[in-house]
Amino acid sequence: MKKLLTFISFQFLLLSLKAQHCPFDGAALIALTIQAADSNGIISGLKIYMLDSTGKPVKGYRYANNQWVNDTVWFWQNPERTTFKGYIDNNNPAQNDKIRFPFARNNYVTVVHDHFPLSKCKIVIAGINKGKRSFKTKIITLKDTDVYPLCTTYNDEVYNCPFRKIIYAPADIILAGE
């Protein structure tokens, strides 16, 4: 009987040790709110990327067209809804630009690893012509605290990180017209 109880206790212990990992375990979000100096609306269609401390574009792996691609880390405008299909795991990697992060509203976002050294990078918002409007290129720096962990928060309406006491606040950037 003692062996049976030991065996059952051991089985319960094993079940409790199996960790469920979030699809964004170890990932984090950088978010930007970008407006024109004379408007409150978000400017759509911007080209935004990062430079490392040597001035070269920051590279990272992303999943696109059914393969992993080592490409420049780009920002995209958070989509209105998730169009990614299926459960996210190693056999079905996330296509981040197809996933809506509800708390990020219509901000520009990119996904990086949780301890990304953001303060060592520059963010380039490339100048564009939008119809009758044109905007100057702007280069900014942010703090390492502007990186928001996604594990357990990626699908929340209100950002609430259970293991870091941080409040979600995208970086506010104002673009001047030319």
Residue 3 has pLDDT above 60, yes or no: no
> With the C-alpha atoms ordered 146, 46, 35, 104, is the resulting torsion angle positive or negative?
negative
pLDDT for the residue 30: 96
| Average pLDDT value for residue range 10-33 | 68
In this prediction, residue 91 has a pLDDT band, given cuts at 50, 70 and 90, of: low
* End-to-end Cα separation, the chain, in angstroms: 83
Over residues 157-167, the pLDDT tens digits come to: 999 887 778 88
Over residues 129-148, the pLDDT tens digits come to: 666 778 889 999 999 999 99
pLDDT for the residue 20: 47
In this prediction, residue 61 has a pLDDT band, given cuts at 50, 70 and 90, of: confident
Tokens (6 digits) for 162: 């259970």
Predicted TM-score (pTM) of the model is: 0.81
Residue 8 has pLDDT above 80, yes or no: no
Q: 84 burial class (0-12, 13-18, 19+ CB within 10 angstroms)? A: middle
pLDDT for the residue 44: 87
In this prediction, residue 67 has a pLDDT band, given cuts at 50, 70 and 90, of: confident
